Amino acid sequence: MKAFDAGWGGAVWKTLGVPVVNVSSRYGAVNYRDKRMVGFNNIELITDRPLKDNLREISEVKKRFPDHAVIASLMVETKEEWHQIVRDGERGRRWHRTELRLPARHVRARYGQRGGAEPKVLQMIVEWVKEVAKVPVIVKLTPNISDITRPARAARAGGADAISLINTIQSIVGVDIDRFVPYPIVDGKSTNGGYCGPAVKPIALNMVKNCAQHPDVNLPISGIGGVENWRDAVEFILLGATSVQVCTAVMHFGFGIIREMLPGLERYMDEKGFKTIEDFRGKALPNILHWEDLNLKYKVVASINEDKCIGCQLCYTACEDGAHRPSHYPATLRTVSRASSMRIAWAATSARSFAQSRIASPWSAVMMARSTSLGANARLQGISRKPSMMNSRVGCTIGCRNLPRP
């Protein structure tokens, strides 16, 4: 009810089934530099509350918000269990859609691992549900498969009315290097979990595109994966999604994010002259080709805006070490070239000494070179800083701040 009060158009209920006991802690995250939780991991299963409690609350929500979409996510095991839970849930038309959650790869096979990854099993389960379902059936697809269109086509063959994707990606988000246990830690142990959040959006967009372009899928698509703002939602729609779901961002920032998403989407549509979502749904698909069909004669060459250059040398380093060599070397960069040469020479010498003294592996030398170069850079600029191979951005920023400006 809190979501609908805030302005959301629909909600997918926490997956219903035979109640389980969830662990604690059940969440882990990936932070990148100064950005927290770019990726989120969970080892949570389905609801741990009795089915009757969930069904009663769903009825209450639908009674108060009859015009909002309520979708029940279901996951059980046998044909009889699928028939029973669908009948129980649809009695009194408690919800508008049924979503089948089959692909939870971080749980045991009895909770859907085989169903999501094996198209034949997925098709069979969809057929079971369609035997008794009175409302449209959505099948949620796992990304933990080489070709997402295989389960999508199986869902269609089984009679599904729509698909939603992606579910979480099998993952380990990090390891406690002192206790030697991956995160999240449960009494000194851990397991692989489901990865979601902003970091998975590129994977989700690609899989939505694959399903939208495949002629044998031809089903409405609900896009899921890393949506945080109105631009993210627009990208999914441009690639063929008919609706968009948000989960991790709500967990992180709250239901109130819809108050920024809706006006942003409306402004975008007004600026582009779109009256409805259908006016731009799939509009990017014709511009996505196979690589061999791209224009191989089209060239883009990078240039440096010397008025904005602060002499950090990142562009020069990227070209010199990551490609071939800079096509243009502006005068503003020459000021820092001597300091750079000194830093690289010092780092190489330190790394070589470190490797010889510790009889380290070649990788140790590489890591040491990366670490000590920051210390050298700080000293060259008259700044005392402890070397850190884990925060090269800080070292670069210190260097840039003290280098001559153009």
Q: What is the CATH number of the domain that holds 222?
A: 3.20.20.70
Q: Which of 84-88, 157-161, 319-323 has the highest mean pLDDT?
A: 157-161
Is residue 6 domain-shared with residue 141, that is, in the same domain?
Answer: yes
What range defines the domain where residue 350 resides? Answer: 314-402
For residue 379, being part of any structural domain is answered with yes
Is residue 268 domain-shared with residue 197, that is, in the same domain?
Answer: yes
Is residue 220 domain-shared with residue 149, that is, in the same domain?
Answer: yes
| Residue 378's pLDDT band (cuts 50, 70, 90) | very low
Structural domains of the chain, count: 2
Is residue 121 domain-shared with residue 256, that is, in the same domain?
Answer: yes
For residue 11, being part of any structural domain is answered with yes
For residue 305, being part of any structural domain is answered with no
For residue 176, being part of any structural domain is answered with yes
Is residue 252 domain-shared with residue 119, that is, in the same domain?
Answer: yes
For residue 102, being part of any structural domain is answered with yes
Is residue 174 domain-shared with residue 256, that is, in the same domain?
Answer: yes
Whether the predicted pLDDT of 138 surpasses 60: yes
Question: End of a domain among 229, 252, 287?
Answer: 287
Question: Per-residue pLDDT averaged across 202-227, rounded?
Answer: 98
**Two tokens, residue 54:** 């969930």
Is residue 231 domain-shared with residue 375, that is, in the same domain?
Answer: no
Question: Per-residue pLDDT averaged across 85-114, rounded?
Answer: 70
Is residue 241 domain-shared with residue 357, that is, in the same domain?
Answer: no
Is residue 63 domain-shared with residue 197, that is, in the same domain?
Answer: yes
For residue 292, being part of any structural domain is answered with no
Is residue 246 domain-shared with residue 343, that is, in the same domain?
Answer: no
For residue 352, being part of any structural domain is answered with yes
Is residue 120 domain-shared with residue 250, that is, in the same domain?
Answer: yes
> In this structure, is the dihedral angle defined by the CA atoms of residues 220, 223, 229 and 234, taken in order, positive or negative?
negative
CA–CA gap between residue 377 and residue 398 (Å, rounded) = 8
Instruction: Give CA separation, 292 vs 187, 205, 288, 296, 300, in Å.
Output: 52, 21, 12, 8, 18
For residue 308, being part of any structural domain is answered with no
CA–CA gap between residue 373 and residue 389 (Å, rounded) = 9
Is residue 362 domain-shared with residue 248, that is, in the same domain?
Answer: no
Structure confidence at residue 263 (pLDDT): 97
C-beta of residue 386 within 8 angstroms of C-beta of residue 401: no
Structure confidence at residue 345 (pLDDT): 46
Q: Which residue has the higher pLDDT, 283 or 46?
A: 283
CA–CA gap between residue 244 and residue 173 (Å, rounded) = 25
Structure confidence at residue 294 (pLDDT): 96
| Residue 53's pLDDT band (cuts 50, 70, 90) | very high
Percent of the chain with pLDDT over 90: 62
Task: Classify the phi-psi angles of 213: left when phi > 0, otherwise alpha if psi is within -120 to 50, otherwise beta.
Answer: alpha
